[in-house]
Amino acid sequence: MSAPRLQVIGDPVLHSKSPVIHAAMLAELGLDIPYTPHVVPKGGLPGYLTWAKAHHVIGFNATMPHKEDLVPLMDQLDEDAGRIGAVNTVCVRDGKLIGHNTDGAGCLIALEQAGLWPRDQVVVLGAGGASKAVALKLAACGARQVWVCNRTPGKAQALAAAGPGGVLTPADFSLETLTRLCTQAQLVVNCTNLGMAGCGQFEAFSFLDALPESAGVFDLIYHPAQTQLLAQARARGLRACNGLPMLLHQAVLALEHFLDRPLDRDRMARAAAAALERSRQ
């Protein structure tokens, strides 16, 4: 039998930081398990899964466009993957495919470590896949109210309907609405691509003025390290955090699934962060 291997699949996927992150964590653990990117186009999952089982792939991460398409192909789903309807981590055990989703849990760990998790009222910006993972996890872990703000009302309504009764509420993305909701919120989480290079920008940031002094702003974007949203939040004296801790902790959780054992999460995150920094130099 060939040696065990780990992969990340998607299309495109060669730009993924997952190999850098996981290689650093595996090296920190003294494990010689290769982790490589593997291009799998849309519609290519059945063929890849057959190949993976035959070539001793013990687990893989998945990015666009496969997270939702993996769900019906799994033999078993964990609670988060089932709730979100998307899989980003797959373990292959005894020929069975076990699907996990570590995005929401990674976000929660990042919020807790940054002191930003209020367990109260949250404004989530966007209604895509990342928003779904974050909003549903926060709702499941004690948020009293989560407003899902999106320019397309139908997407916000669909996401809100997937949550526990009365916790998720759809809203529009107008400056007036954001301002009104921020008067009641303790946390704003940006799950849109606004602020990412080449992806547009917020029309205005005055809605941040409505947040209470103790509120926080979390931006899932980690490159650039400080988006305009975070800069504007900090200029107002608000606590702010980018998406790098979430990226690292969702990867740590994935590796725990792959290895089927708990890890020193802070140690793993530090090793991965250092490797990412070296890769940019």
Catalytic residue set: 67
- The verdict on whether omega for the bond into residue 224 sits within 30 degrees of 0, i.e. cis, is yes
Q: Are 186 and 118 in contact (CB under 8 A)?
A: yes
Contacts of 11 (CB under 8 A, 6+ apart): 39, 40, 41, 42, 44, 64, 65
Contacts of 139 (CB under 8 A, 6+ apart): 146, 163, 164, 167, 168
Q: Are 116 and 187 in contact (CB under 8 A)?
A: yes
- 101: which strand partners? none
